[in-house]
Amino acid sequence: MAKVTKVVVPVAGYGTRFLPATKATPKEMLPVVDKPAIQYVVEEAVAAGLSDVLFITGRSKRALEDHFDSSPELEAELSKQNKDELIKKVKDPADLANIHFVRQGTPQGLGHAVFMAKQHVGHEPFAVLLGDDLIDPRDYVLKKMFEVQENFGGSVVLLMEVKPEEIHLYGSAQVEKTNDDAVVKVVDLVEKPNQKDAPSNYAVIGRYLFNPKVFEVLEKTKPGKNGEIQLTDAMKTLAKDISPAEGGGLHAVIFKGRRYDTGDKLSYLQSVVQLAVEREDLGPEFKKWLKKFTGELGN
């Protein structure tokens, strides 16, 4: 199987859970300490050798495009002030990868966003990373996903066990064991089910490796939940209706590491605090303050 080098990062959603902050600013640009969430995701992709990054963008995403571009005036100003460390911080995002953009037009769901990548990706397997879903670099998981794709072919997703009362926020997977405890075969999927209808508490989270067959499937996928073209519905077809010989089949890696969901207000706040506490420059002072503050909060 061809080596995966291309990654698709859909960032065209409305980000309604973060309005009004996301009226003119993409939610993927919200800062997690001092870097926008999306930069962590692109850094993860590049660390995995995915140096060709395609953003699926839409309106109000100018800030994101500018973030991954050079900024000559700012660099010149910082250079005058001999602020080399800051110049590096400004240049890093633009130097990270080969960045491309395709616009989604009206956002019609994650499946529709991924379909927009068809022409750029062509007939190779490719990765999809969600721009508001952060995986801690210490719990790097893409390598394991590549291995699974090499062993089984088809497509590979990442699953995480969530509390039963949280499964309605995710795609839920029905799975079968394999010889490897960390890997399962996905036999069915349901998008955002009620707790009682969920086939399991294994939730699909924002890392995917797709066989290009997914484009053919997405093209035929009808709008599903909320009238959107759901990536989950296309994955279900890959898992259930298409043989491995034809590019179908779906396996999953079970993720047990640290993940930060920055697309939801509460988990965004938790992510910022967790990552700030661990920073060498901020952590010690911040922890001291946090302990005092939580002590004052009482129960």
Give the contacts of 281 (CB within 8 A, at least 6 positions apart): none
Binding stretches for ligand UTP (CB under 6 A): 10-17, 28, 56, 104, 107-110, 112-113, 130-132, 263
Cβ proximity to ligand UTP, 109 vs 171, nearer residue: 109
Cβ proximity to ligand UTP, 113 vs 253, nearer residue: 113
Cβ proximity to ligand UTP, 224 vs 249, nearer residue: 224
Cβ proximity to ligand UTP, 108 vs 178, nearer residue: 108
Cβ proximity to ligand UTP, 16 vs 243, nearer residue: 16
Cβ proximity to ligand UTP, 208 vs 247, nearer residue: 208
Least distance from ligand UTP to the Cβ atom of residue 23, Å = 12
Can you spell out the DSSP letters for the chain?
A: -PPP-EEEEE--S--GGGTTTTTTS-GGGSEETTEEHHHHHHHHHHHTT--EEEEEE-TT-HHHHHHTS--HHHHHHHHHTT-HHHHHHHHHHHHSSEEEEEE-SS---HHHHHHTTHHHHTTS-EEEE-TTEEE-GGG--HHHHHHHHHHH-SEEEEEEE--GGGGGGSEEEEEEE-SSTTEEEEEEEEES--GGG-S-SEEEEEEEEE-THHHHHHHHPPP-GGGS--HHHHHHHHHHTS-GGGT--EEEEEP-S-EEE-SSHHHHHHHHHHHHHH-TTTHHHHHHHHHHHHHHH--
Least distance from ligand UTP to the Cβ atom of residue 252, Å = 18
Least distance from ligand UTP to the Cβ atom of residue 87, Å = 29
Least distance from ligand UTP to the Cβ atom of residue 75, Å = 29
Least distance from ligand UTP to the Cβ atom of residue 196, Å = 23
Least distance from ligand UTP to the Cβ atom of residue 17, Å = 3
